Chains A and B, each alone.
Chain A
Amino acid sequence: MIRDGHAPGRGGPAAQAPPGEGRGAEPDYKALKAGGMVRQRQKDRFTVRLKCPGGRVPLERLARIAEVARRYGGQYVHLSFRQSIEIPYVALEDLDRVRRELAEAGQEIATCGARVRVPTACSGCEYNPNGLTDTQKMAADVAARFFGRGPFAHKFKMSFSGCPIDCARTSENDLGFQGAVEPRWDESACTACGLCAAACREGAIELAAGTNKPRYRRDKCLFCGDCIRACPVDAWQAQRTGWMVRVGGKHGRHPIVGARIAAMLPDANVSGLIEAVISWYEKNAAGKGRIRLGALLQDPAAWRRFLADIGPVLGEWAAPDPAPPRPCEIHF
């Protein structure tokens, strides 16, 4: 086990600065943490967590991060589970320099604590052939609008996946958005080749005996768009593209699987929904201690109230009568 990853005999200019300045005055750890500086096991060493929405880091920033880490950090950077680059082993007295030098390259620090965290996202539709929705654009937009909001009763996490493979684990976030496409079949264009039925992984397309024409089973469809992508004559097309929305998910000591509350929500409605859910959480978690949204929604009365309050924001995209987020405990 590595107890000290700090490069021996190295450190920033401040490594030679007089230690323990202002001795006796305890640093404001909470303020430090809100700014993405996480106190380490090692005295006066901090892990600096960087804001990397959707895990995308432009190369010029990456170069600066490497430079700053070499000067002030340890012998490596760490990739967090939520796509942040973290620079461990930064000395307390160097934190301000680190923040300043990263900011010169446009690199911001993330947040910790009971706030809206940096949204995570898959690589998205730009170069991933499975991508249906622009997760990177949404993660950047949502980070710009909501990042750091709080403090609330507890943290608030969001993620964006571009297709039903759901690499961004939308069911494990307070709010998760998973891209989906609803297919439409144009009978006049169809040549009855049967490729769509063979390409569908869900058995959602059956071929009629005799005509070999597809019959769409909406109840089995995952809205992945494979039929659209496979059809050689574009008889399958996108009817609607949008987001499956999940709420109340979390991991941690008491994991909860998020509940789907909407289908095919358009990009333009995402911010309004986030705003409504955050406000609801802020209001309804007040006075209940350190509680995540999904835990709060375990109370049947709270779930009913949540659906009643958020329903109008979801409008026609609301899922009919959804079940609450489902705990996934380890007790047995």
Chain B
Amino acid sequence: MAAQAARPVVPVRTVDVTGSRCPMTFVRVKVALDGLAPGEVLELVLLEGEQMQDVPKNLKDEGHRVLAVVRKGPKYHLLVRKGEP
């Protein structure tokens, strides 16, 4: 189902933003990523619909990389590697 990274990737932390609404979703994702060093991995939990329509493309725009996606019902768990600033 999910894209597999070459070796197991261990997230530094998990942030579930499924209870947030725009623009707080973006703020929480940004704050969570700001707390990581480039190359470190965040597990991000997003809700299907608006969050999944908006957040992944913004992660890519900002130079981060989605390594794996696992869907659990309406929730998506994304492993996101922080990009270089």
Question: Footprint of B on A, CB under 8 Å?
Answer: 129, 191-195, 198-201, 212, 226, 229-233
Interface of chain A, main secondary structure: loop
- How far does the alpha carbon of A129 sit from the alpha carbon of B67 in the complex, in Å? 22
Is B45 part of the binding interface, using a Cβ–Cβ cutoff of 8 Å?
no
- How far does the alpha carbon of A233 sit from the alpha carbon of B69 in the complex, in Å? 13
Assess A232 versus B1: contact at CB under 8 Å? Given A129-B61, A199-B57, A226-B57: no
Assess A229 versus B57: contact at CB under 8 Å? Given A193-B2, A193-B3, A198-B52: yes
Assess A230 versus B60: contact at CB under 8 Å? Given A193-B68, A198-B48: yes
Interface of chain B, main secondary structure: mixed
Assess A192 versus B53: contact at CB under 8 Å? Given A198-B76, A229-B61, A232-B67: no
Q: Do A195 and B69 have beta carbons less than 8 Å apart? A: yes
Which residues from A are CB-within-8-Å of B48? 198
Q: Do B1 and A195 have beta carbons less than 8 Å apart? A: no
- How far does the alpha carbon of A201 sit from the alpha carbon of B57 in the complex, in Å? 13
Which residues from A are CB-within-8-Å of B13? none
Quick one: which of B54-85 are within 8 Å of A by CB? 56-58, 60-61, 65-69, 71, 76
Which residues from B are CB-within-8-Å of A230? 56-57, 60
- How far does the alpha carbon of A217 sit from the alpha carbon of B84 in the complex, in Å? 35
- How far does the alpha carbon of A226 sit from the alpha carbon of B57 in the complex, in Å? 7
Q: Do A199 and B53 have beta carbons less than 8 Å apart? A: yes
Which residues from A are CB-within-8-Å of B69? 193-195
- How far does the alpha carbon of A229 sit from the alpha carbon of B59 in the complex, in Å? 9
Quick one: which of B7-44 are within 8 Å of A by CB? none
Q: Do A192 and B57 have beta carbons less than 8 Å apart? A: no
Give 13 pairs: A residue, B residue, CB < 8 Å, sorted on A: A129-B58, A192-B3, A198-B56, A199-B53, A200-B53, A212-B1, A226-B53, A226-B57, A229-B57, A230-B56, A230-B57, A230-B60, A232-B67
Question: Footprint of A on B, CB under 8 Å?
Answer: 1-4, 48, 52-53, 56-58, 60-61, 65-69, 71, 76
Which residues from A are CB-within-8-Å of B60? 229-232
Which residues from A are CB-within-8-Å of B3? 191-193, 232-233
Q: Do B53 and A201 have beta carbons less than 8 Å apart? A: yes
In the complex, given contacts A193-B69, A230-B57, A230-B60, what are 9 additional A-B residue pairs having Cβ atoms less than 8 angstroms apart? A194-B71, A195-B56, A195-B69, A198-B48, A198-B52, A199-B52, A199-B56, A230-B56, A232-B60
Which residues from B are CB-within-8-Å of A191? 3-4
Of the candidates A129, A195, A201, A212, the one whose C-beta lies within 8 Å of that of B66 is: A195
- How far does the alpha carbon of A192 sit from the alpha carbon of B57 in the complex, in Å? 16
